[in-house]
Structures are given as structure tokens and as C-alpha cells.
Structure 1
């Protein structure tokens, strides 16, 4: 049994962060602001925005063999490359979900052997376990920070008082989105100031936006300062 003293933990080390925004919002570009050497796992093929950065390496996931291929890729990274990097950047979970289900739709068959063209109900249930397990595995890697991206969507929320409103969330299957976000130290929604063009992250949950920050007391961070974690968190008011 390994026992770690809380006094020895540095919040700025070995963190897990999920950032989300609409396509083209600047999620992938945020990898440029990570300190040290970063390995980007490219799912949606948008890493051209990282061109020229000497501290970033990119590995392209095999989208023709999503389920088994991803397991093999992650094992290879863990066993052979993890000590070469300070950060792992998984880009992105939403497209990974779509690719995973698309693979299942190609493989699905009716009872008479004809292609169904849609995932079976069991495929959705299997993915509900697969994705959190994959994230837990990545989060278990020691000595590296983990950053995940996702697209943005809205889901309907009902308050304890019965009020119904729409809330921005990462675009992940609704049945497991809370599970996934619970595995993160920080969840930030990337927004753009329409007047100045400045990008920044909301880090505090509101009725309109899901966000969380267990790493420090910031409620907002400029894009270039997201990973400047000071580790100061008030334990009581």
C-alpha cells in the first residue's frame, strides 16, 4: 500500500484538465501554452494549428480501428514513451466518441447478416464504460499532466427548485458526461471576447456553464495563463 502525505502534493503537478469549446474555438491551440515537452494524441486532425512548436510531438490515432487501436496506442505510449514527455494532450473526446460509434455502425449486422448502418444499443452501453475507463487509465500515468479537449453542446438542467434551463457542457454522451467531468481536476469553457478577440476560460460553474477548478481559486483564466496554476485553494470560507 502506497501512502502519500497531502503536504507533499503539488496541485500544479500531474493534473487532469478538460477544456471545451465549439469547433474552431481554439482548444487545440491551447497546447502551445503547456510548459515542457507535450505529446498530442490527435483524433480530429486539427493539429496544424500547432505547426512550428519544437516542444510538441503528435501521434495520429487510427480511426479505422478505434476501440482496439486506441488501447494499443495508449499502452505503447505508457510502456515506451511516457518518460519523454511532461504533458499528454488528448484531442478530442467528442470526435473519439463519434469515431468509436461510427466503427460500431459499420460492424453492426441484422439477424440475417445485413448491415444495419447504426450502432446497436449494446454499443452505447459498452462505450459508457469504455470512455471513463480510458480516462482513468490515462489519469493513472505518473509524472505527466493530462489535458483533454471536447466540443461544446447544451443540455437541459433542472434546478432543485424545479427551474429548467440550458447549460453549456462538453459534448460527451449525456449518460456519462458527469462521470467524465468528475475525473478531472479542472473543467474550463473556452470563450472569445467578441470586441477584443481575447480568448479565456470560465472556471466557475454557473447556471449557464459547467466548469470546475480544484487546482486554485481562479474563476477565469486567459488562454495563455490557464496552466499557470498557483495551487492556492481556500479550504474554508
Structure 2
């Protein structure tokens, strides 16, 4: 059923966010700074970095079984969607950490269960693409912030005039990359910088360039610290 509303009624306190970077840069730790209560769906086993986070009391972790990731993921999403009213009361944020490993583990699982000597078939790739897009759309119907993490990869893009650029982007299957990013309100590339005192500072690039996949359709920020990746706008009237 079509839901009708005035533009003035739209809220920006919830949304879908993508955070990507190379392994070890601090994606998982950054999830600890999200405002409110956070559920982390641990796909790659990196949740141990949250053990000493200053906001550890606000974080619940579900560790998914990587040896049975196809069914494990389907059942987890089904539980969240079926019981969304319960989870909406418990959590402000639902985090998938991380998509790159989720896709790899699913394909490995499908190959193991198939008839191609453990190698995924072409049909397995298509099943995975469609199922994961359906999963994200389903998660987006839960009244929580959805935060996705992914590893970083690069490719080379050539313009019609022959000029080429190396682009940084989330490590997601090329065929569905734009679909996934299109369903996100904010896409940020996590980067680090060492200051004059030798301390590592982490921030996010939210402004797209020819070299970086990024976007921000919730506000005017072009970059931010990891602590401010997601702003608490629950009290705003816009």
C-alpha cells in the first residue's frame, strides 16, 4: 500500500549507512560510537575489538555461524523482520559487520552444498545477489538505523576522453554495487591520519569524487570524525 505524506513530515533520525575501509583501520570499533543501543551482527569475528570500547554497555553482539552462512543469514534477517516491533524497542541501530565477508562466506557455503566440487556455480552468484538485495530492503523496513560495513577495494575507471582514475569503493559484487549503495543514505570511506603528537585520528569522507565512492543525502557534511558518523537527530522536527 502506498504511504502518502508531506515532505515536511520526513524525518532524518533513521537511515541506512555504509562504512568501508581496509581491514584493521577501525570499522568495527567505530560502531561503538553510534548513538543509542546497538546490535552488531558479527560476520567476520571482529567484534572482540569492542570489548574495551567506552560504550560497551550499549552494544549487543550476535555472532553468526560462518560455516552455515546461507541459512544463518536468512534465518537472522527473518527473525529481525518478523519480530521487528520487539527489536525496535530494544535497539536504535542494527549493524551488519561486514558485507564483504558475508558474501564470501555465503558463496563458500553454497559451493559446499552444491554439486560442483565445492565451487560456487553461476547460479549461486545470482541467488546471492538477489537474496542479499532483498535482505537489505527487508532490514530497511525496520524502524532502526541500519549500518553496513565492508572492506575496501579499488578499480580503474576510464572516461570517454581516455583519462583514467583509480577509485576506492566498498568490496561488494560489481553487479549489485550500485544497487546496494543506492539503498544507502550515507556512504563513508574511513581514513586515518597521524597528527603532530603521533596520535592516529580516524575520520570519514562523505563527499564523492572521481576517486572515491561516497554520498550523504541526510545533511550537508562532506566529512566527519568517526564519533559523528551518525548524528542523533531524534529531537529534530525536520
TM-score calculated relative to the size of structure 2: 0.88
Aligned residue among 63, 71, 75 for 1:72: 75
Which residue number corresponds to residue 41 of structure 2?
41
- 1:6-62 Cα shifts (integer Å, max 9, x gaps): 211121x22100000011111011111111111111100101111151000001112
Relative to 1, partners in 2 of residues 1:65 and 1:204: Cα closer, same or farther, differing over 3 Å? same
Runs of 4 or more, structure 1, over 2 Å off, are 77-81, 158-164, 228-231
Q: Say if 2:10 is the partner of 1:4.
A: no
Q: In structure 2, how many angstroms separate the alpha carbons of the residues matched to 1:145 and 1:207? A: 28
Checking the alignment, whether the CA contact within 8 Å between 1:167 and 1:210 is kept in structure 2 is yes
* RMSD (Å), alpha carbons: 1.7
1:159 aligns with 2:159: yes
Alignment partner, residue 127 of structure 1: 128
Alignment of 1:182-193 (within 5 A): 182-193=182-193
Residue 108 of structure 2 is aligned with which of 77, 84, 102?
Answer: 102
Between the two proteins, the alignment pairs up a number of residues equal to: 224
| Runs (5+) with no aligned partner, structure 2 | none
SS across alignment from 2:200:
coil
Find the residue that maps to 1:151 and give its secondary structure.
strand
* TM-score of the aligned structures, taking structure 1 as reference length: 0.89
State the 1:4 CA deviation.
Answer: 2.3
Match of 1:234 in 2: none
* Partner SS state of residue 192, structure 1: strand
1:156/1:135 CA distance change after superposition, 3 Å: same
Aligned to 1:56: 59
Higher relative helix content: 2
